[in-house]
Amino acid sequence: MIRKVLLTALCVVSFGIAQAHRPLKRIAKKHPVNHPVSADTTDQTAFYERIPLVHDILGYAKKYISSRYRSGGSSPRGFDCSGFTRFCFSKFGVTLPHSSAAQGNVGVKIDQEVARPGDLIFFKGHSSRSSHIGHVGMIVEIVGDRIKFIHSAWNGGVRYDWLHASYYQQRYVGIRRVVG
């Protein structure tokens, strides 16, 4: 298992270095899932196919849709937000702390315009006036300028939501890349 994780990590790092100089663009809205692709229009390989680890993590996370919310939870019996992201990433050898604020310090800060599926998205807690991270989710899809994410919310458990909803817009803090 460790060999598989290390091999996957090596492939991800190698791909990232090789692709670092290539600019990204968005696929038109008519496509069912919007993945960033290289500026070379002949290279239409889906993002998920280029970084299998992200595909695996998101596929695994989707299995837990409708799982209940549980404060401090980090198992299928119930998840809080950071417990859910930690649980999903740990299945594939990526260690995250069990705190949304602590997860907000992991990886690399990413601008919203270059966000990708698999990136972590952070929000303030219940109060939009707070300056502290209090919630985390995982980006699963980008459609035009709209970001869809999966998270464990106290009012509904594991579910999908969109960043453009006013509740999340008012609480949005930032995005961090922890894979790739």
Clarify whether 81 is annotated catalytic.
Answer: yes
Active-site residue (options: 21, 55, 88, 135): 135
Active-site residue (options: 81, 88, 126, 164): 81
Tell me the two tokens of residue 136.
């985390």
Pairwise CA distance, residues 93 & 9, whole Å: 9
Active-site residue (options: 31, 98, 126, 151): 151
In the chain, what is the straight-line distance between the N-terminal and C-terminal CA atoms, in Å? 19
- Give the three-state DSSP class for 38: strand
Clarify whether 126 is annotated catalytic.
Answer: no
| Length of the chain (residues) | 180
CA trace torsion 137, 54, 34, 59 (10° rounding)? -80
Clarify whether 135 is annotated catalytic.
Answer: yes
User: What amino acid positions are annotated as catalytic residues?
Assistant: 81, 135, 151
